[in-house]
């Protein structure tokens, strides 16, 4: 098969479409013939040599895919050759084939094209696990999503609205904010022109955001704490704004607030399977009914992964960028 390899860390040009050995499904795994994968910022870090796959995972980038089951390993039940699936991966999505533990497989939602389903596993698992399983967003509360027009952001808006929450978003252009509004966002903040702390305070009558989903990390830590409501929950899922910052413990104590930070890739298989099962129970019915949908900005050939990485680095996209396998 062919896959995107990284002979040496570097810029987008470091991604090489090359022939590699086929993976073999182990106990409890299936082999998926990949139709499409999606690009995540973690892939950019891996390309730069800053985010290596966990031990035993595929060395190729790609944290999600869609495709068809091509073979089943020993002990597999409930899945058969020919099933159309999408999958949460520890790596290997930028390839023509990938071996996947069955606990990380999901069926393709009704009415969705197979390749579009590649845009779902990482965002649905990230949003559901952080916003609902960890931060426990409830109906009537306010969720602030940084990067509202991203793949994560567009899914977070829809799921929060589906449970009856109010949604605030930050984004860097009127076009992106308008798209967030079309998805249901109530409070639109241009982070290039407005202070999100002031805007959240104004929009909530001084109460603040009950839950904040943050992809920036260090750069936003102090302002995120100030933007939280009493008993607020800050869920950090990224570090685009750096890794080190001071935390005002007094401010956190005064608000009786909580800060959590999670990642998916290195979790034990049992934890990933639990998240995938929760997503299938709570999110998949919304996808099947059409109340929630993936947002795909564009599709590129998998061999042009470098071009897809440049799109993410420019932040010119809305939603997900897909790589389509030949």
What pLDDT sits at residue 75? 96
User: Mean pLDDT per 10-residue run, the chain (326 residues)?
Assistant: 98 98 97 98 96 94 98 97 98 98 98 97 98 98 98 98 98 97 98 98 98 95 97 96 92 96 94 98 98 98 98 96 97
Q: At what angle do helices 151-162 and 174-183 cross, to 10 degrees?
A: 30
How far apart are the C-alpha atoms of 197 and 228, rounded to whole Å? 9
Contacts of 46 (CB under 8 A, 6+ apart): 6, 52, 53, 61, 91
Assess whether the region 2-122+265-324 and the region 135-261 belong to the same CATH fold. Answer: no
Class of domain 135-261: alpha beta
pTM recorded for the entire structure:
0.96
8-state DSSP, 160:
H
Q: What is the pLDDT of residue 21?
A: 98
| Residues 6 or more apart whose Cβ sits within 8 Å of residue 301 | 323, 324, 326
Q: Where are the domains of the chain?
A: 2-122+265-324, 135-261
Tell me how crowded residue 289 is: count the other CB atoms within 10 A of its CB: 11
Pairwise CA distance, residues 7 & 51, whole Å? 15
Q: What are the strands, taking DSSP E only, across the chain?
A: 2-5, 16-19, 29-38, 64-72, 84-88, 97-101, 105-107, 142-146, 166-171, 187-190, 209-214, 228-236, 258-261, 296-301, 320-324
For residue 125, the SS3 value is helix
Instruction: Compute the distance between CA of residue 321 and CA of residue 39 in angstroms, rounded to an integer.
Output: 6
Q: Could you tell me the fold of the domain covering 2-122+265-324? A: Quinone Oxidoreductase; Chain A, domain 1 (3.90.180)
Q: Which helix (H) or strand (E) holds 312?
A: helix 305-314
- The CA dihedral of 165, 166, 170, 173, to the nearest 10 degrees, is 120
69-to-58, 103, 158 alpha-carbon distances in Å: 18, 14, 29
Q: Quick check: 18 and 2 in contact, CB under 8 A?
A: yes
Q: Cα angle vertex 117, ends 27, 320, to 5°?
A: 120
Place of tokens 């704490």: 225
Rounded Cα gap, residues 245 and 261, in angstroms: 14
């Amino acid at each position: 098969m062919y896959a995107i390899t990284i002979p040496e860390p570097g810029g987008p040009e470091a991604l090489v479409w090359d022939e590699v050995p086929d993976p073999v499904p182990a106990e409890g795994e299936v082999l998926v013939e990949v139709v499409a994968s999606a690009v995540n910022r973690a892939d950019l870090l891996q390309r730069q040599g800053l985010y290596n796959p966990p031990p035993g995972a595929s060395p190729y980038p790609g944290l999600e895919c869609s495709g068809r089951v091509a073979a089943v390993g020993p002990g597999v039940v409930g899945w058969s050759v020919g099933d159309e699936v999408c999958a949460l991966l520890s790596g290997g999505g930028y390839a023509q084939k990938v071996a996947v533990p069955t606990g990380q497989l999901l069926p393709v939602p009704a009415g969705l094209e197979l390749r579009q389903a590649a845009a779902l596993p990482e965002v649905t698992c990230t949003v559901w696990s952080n916003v609902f399983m960890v931060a426990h967003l409830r109906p009537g509360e306010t969720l602030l999503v940084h990067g509202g027009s991203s793949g994560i952001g567009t899914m977070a808006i829809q799921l929060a609205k589906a449970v009856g929450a109010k949604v605030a978003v930050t984004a860097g252009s009127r076009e992106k904010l308008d798209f967030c509004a079309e998805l249901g966002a109530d409070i639109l903040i241009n982070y290039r022109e407005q202070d999100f702390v002031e805007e959240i305070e104004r929009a909530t009558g001084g109460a603040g955001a009950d839950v904040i989903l943050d992809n920036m990390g260090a750069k936003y830590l102090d302002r995120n704490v100030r933007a939280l409501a009493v008993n607020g929950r800050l869920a950090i899922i990224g570090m685009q704004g750096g890794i080190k910052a001071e935390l005002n413990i007094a401010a956190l104590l005064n608000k009786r607030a909580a800060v959590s930070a999670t990642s998916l890739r290195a979790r034990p298989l049992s934890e990933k399977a639990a998240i995938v099962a929760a997503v299938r129970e709570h999110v998949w019915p919304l996808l099947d009914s059409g109340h929630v949908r993936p947002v795909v900005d564009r599709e590129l050939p998998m061999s042009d992964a470098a071009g897809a990485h440049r799109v993410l680095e420019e932040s010119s996209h809305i939603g997900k960028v897909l790589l389509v396998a030949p």
